Amino acid sequence: MMRALYLPGNCTPTKVALHSPQLLGVFLLWAFVLGTIGSAENFAADQQPNIVFIFSDDHALQSIGAYGSKINETPNIDRLAQEGAVFLNSFCANSICGPSRACILTGKHSHKNGFLRNGNRFDGNQTTFPKLIQQAGYQAALIGKWHLSSDPTGFDHWEVLPGQGSYYNPDFIQMDGSRHRRMGYCTDIITDLSLDWLQDRDTEKPFLLMCQHKAPHRNWAPPQRHFDLYKESDIPEPPTLHDNYSNRSELLKQNEMSIRDHMMWRHDMKLHGKIEFPKHFKTEGRNGEYARMTEEQKQAWDAQYEPENQDFLAKMRAGSLSDTQILSWKYQRYIKDYLRCIAAVDDGVGRLLAYLDETGLAENTIVIYSSDQGFYLGDHGWYDKRWMFEESMKMPFLIRWPGKITEGSRTPTLIQNIDYAPTFLELAGAPVPPEIQGRSLVPVLRGNCEAPSDWRDAVYYAYYENDAVHNVPKHDGVRSERYKLMYFPRTREWNLFDLEVDPQELTSFHDDPEYAEVLRGMKQLYRNQRSFYEVNSAVIPETRGDDKNWKQREDLLKSRVKKGSDPVRLAFIGDSITHSWENGGKSIWEETFAPRNAVNLGISGDRTEHIIWRLQHGGGFSEIKPEVAVLMIGTNNTGHMMQDPAEVAAGIERILEIIADQSPETKVVLHGIFPRGRTELDEQRLNNQAINQRIRRFADGKQVHWLDIGKVFLEPDNSLSAEIMPDALHLSKQGYQRWAEALEPKLQELGL
C-alpha cells in the first residue's frame, strides 16, 4: 500500500511504499530519529530564502475564507493557507495601527519600543529587523502604509503613504522627502510598485519585500470594479450586533465606536450634504476620498451610491424605518464597503503570487499575509479595534514556503506580532538580539507546525490610548488557551472570560465563586507576564485626559504659566498633597511661596506616569524652567496599587531625567514620600518608606537635593494625628505649615 508521510523537518508529504505493519514501524522509528537529529538542517534552505511580507490594515479574521468566514471569500489569500500554514491564535500586542507596526519592526512590546499610541514618533535609530536582515546580505524594500511619523530606516528602497494615506489618487512620500501623487486606486498602486521593485531589484541578492496596504482601513472606499460585489444580497449580521454590554465593565457602554451611534453621515455612510437625521447621525464628517476623485471617478461613485442613498433617505423622510432597520442599513453599507476593499487586497495578493510563479521565485520565497490587527465587523455593535476582545486582538497570519511548511496546516499555537522579527531573522540566518522580546516561529514551522513543549502559555496585551477617539480606556491583560483576563486601571476592575463556554465574551466571570481559583491563577499569570516583559506602569507615560476634572486642571496650569510676566522661580510638582496648597495650605502658600513667584503644578490623583506624560506633552514645566522645582510624588503609586518600590523609584528617576533634559539649570528638591496610615506598621507607609530608601540615592548634591521631612508630620510614637493628617494621608493647614517650615532652609540654601 502507499501512505503519505510527513517527515520531520520537511512539511511536504512524501509517498513511500510500505508493505507491512512491521516495515511501517521501522520506517517511523527511522523517520523520528532522523528528524530529531537533523530537523534544523532539513528545514534550512540551500540558500537564504526571499521573504514577501504582505501586510494589510484592519483585516478581520471573520472576513478571510481560510479562517472560516461566513461572509466573505478570499481565494488568493486562502491559497497561502492551502499551500502553507494558518495560525489560528495569532495576536497583536496593542490593537492600533502604528503601535502594531512598531512591535513588528522591533520584536518588542510597545512599552519597550517607545511607540505606545498613534501620534507617537517611531525612533528609527533603534534596532529593527530590516536593519539586521540587510546586514545578513538582503536587499529590503517597504512600499505602502508606514504610519510611524518618522522616515523608514533599514530599507534599500521605500515609498510610503503619508499618515493613513488615501484610497483614491494617493500621495506617496519618496526617499528624498518629496511627495508624488499617483492616479488610480491605492491598493492597486501599492501592488504595482511592489512588482516594479521585484523586477528591478538586484537578482544576485535575497530580498525582503514589505508590501503594506492601507485597505481595509476606514473610510472603506472600494475600487470601481468591485462596486457590484454583494450588491444584490445582504451580509448576515453578527449575533452580537445588538450587544447591550451588560455583565462586563461599565466602561464598555461608554464606547464611541458603535455602528448604531457613531457612524458619520458623509465619512462612513457616503451620504452627501448636511445631516438630515441628527438622532441617528450625530457627526457629519467629510468624505475626503470623494474630494480627491476626478470627475470621471465621481460619476462612477455616484452611480453606485446615490440610488441606494436616495432610497434610504426617502424611507427615512417617510418615517417608515425602525431603529433596528436603520442600524441594519448602516451595517450593510459599512460591511459591504469593507469587504469590497478586501477584494482589492486579495486581487493584489493574487498578482504577487502569480509573479513569483511566473519567474520561478516561488520555490524559495516565503510569503506571509498578515494585518496590523483585527477589526469589529459589527461584533459587539462596533467597528474599529482597540478593545482586548478576540475580534480585534486576533490578527491573521498565513505563511507559505514550498517544500518546507506542511501544506494545509492549521495550528493553534499562541503567537504574537512581536514574534515576526525574530522569525524573519532566523529564516534569513541573521542573529536575534537578546533585547527582542518575541520568539522565533521557526521551531513551530520546523516541528510540523506544532509548538515545542516549552512554548508560551499565554500572550500579554496592552492598550494605551486613554483619551483618544472612540473612548476606549487604557487596559491590559493576558490571554491563555482558554481564559482571558483584562484589567482596567480607570476603574481598577478585572474582567475574566472563559472562551470555551463563552466564545463571544458576553459575560465576565470575575465575581463568580466558581471561577475564584481561575481568577487567582490568571492574576498570577498576569503578574508573571508583566514581570517577564518588564512592564512597569510607573515609567510608561499615561494621560488622564478621559477625566474631565484632570483635563480642566491641566488646562488651568498651562494657562497660568503662560500668563505670568515675571519668570517663575519656584515650581511644585506632585499629586493631591501638592495640589492642596491651593486649598488647606492656601494662606501659607500666599505668605511663603507666592512672593517667590511660585507656581503649583500638582494635580490630585496623579501617579509618576501621569507626571511623565505632562512633562512630555507641554504640561507647563518646559515653558517656565524654574530655578527650583520641589518634587513629591509616588503616594498614589502606593495607594492605588501598592506598586513595587523599585518600580515607583524608576518612575521618579524618569521624572528627574526629563526635568534635567528640559531645564538643566533647575535645581530639584526631591522629597521623600510623606508618611501615611495611622501607625508605623501601616502597609502603605512601609511601602513608601521602601520607595524612599531607593530614591534618596538619586540625589547628587548638584542638581538633585534630597530632603526627607516625613518626621515633621509624626508624633513621638510615630503615629499620624488627625490634626496633621485628618485622613492619614492629606495635610491639614497645620500640616502645610510644618511642610513650609521644613522646606524653607533648603530653599534658602539653593538661592531662594
- Burial (CB count within 10 angstroms: exposed 0-12, middle 13-18, buried 19+), residue 206: buried
Picking from 404, 413, 418, 407, the residue whose alpha carbon sits closest to that of residue 446 is 404
Cα 207–chain centre separation: 28
Picking from 380, 643, 464, the residue whose alpha carbon sits closest to that of residue 536 is 643
As beta bridge partners, residue 488 has 493
Written as one string, the DSSP assignment of 687-714 is HHHHHHHHHGGG--SSSEEEE--GGGGS
Residue with cell 499610541: 117
| DSSP annotation of 382 | B
Picking from 55, 54, 62, 106, the residue whose alpha carbon sits closest to that of residue 385 is 62
730 is catalytic: yes
And the C-alpha cell for 1?
Answer: 500500500
Instruction: Please tell me which residue in 576, 604, 719, 721 is annotated as part of the active site.
Output: 576
Instruction: Please tell me which residue in 371, 392, 730, 732 is annotated as part of the active site.
Output: 730
Which residues touch 382 (CB under 8 Å, ≥6 apart)?
Answer: 255, 257, 258, 259, 376
213 is catalytic: no
Which residues touch 296 (CB under 8 Å, ≥6 apart)?
Answer: none
Cα 389–chain centre separation: 13
Residues 556, 562, 565: CA angle, nearest 5 degrees: 130
- Burial (CB count within 10 angstroms: exposed 0-12, middle 13-18, buried 19+), residue 162: middle
Picking from 422, 391, 417, the residue whose alpha carbon sits closest to that of residue 58 is 391
Pure H helices in 402-515: 420-428, 442-446
- For 212, the 3-state DSSP assignment is strand
Written as one string, the DSSP assignment of 257-315 is -BHHHH--TTTTT---SS-S-TTT-------HHHHHS-HHHHHHHHHHHHHHHHHHHHH
**Pair 436, 108: CB distance under 8 Å:** yes
As beta bridge partners, residue 171 has 181
Q: Identify residue 73 by its one-letter amino acid code.
A: E
Residues 455, 482, 417: CA angle, nearest 5 degrees: 50
Instruction: Please tell me which residue in 323, 357, 700, 727 is annotated as part of the active site.
Output: 727
Bridge-based pairing of strands 409-416 and 85-91 is parallel
Residue with cell 465593565: 249
Residue 378 falls in which region: left (phi positive, over 0), alpha (psi -120 to 50) or beta: left
Q: Distance between the two ends of the chain, CA-based, in angstroms?
A: 95
- For 88, the 3-state DSSP assignment is strand
Which residues have a catalytic role annotated?
576, 727, 730
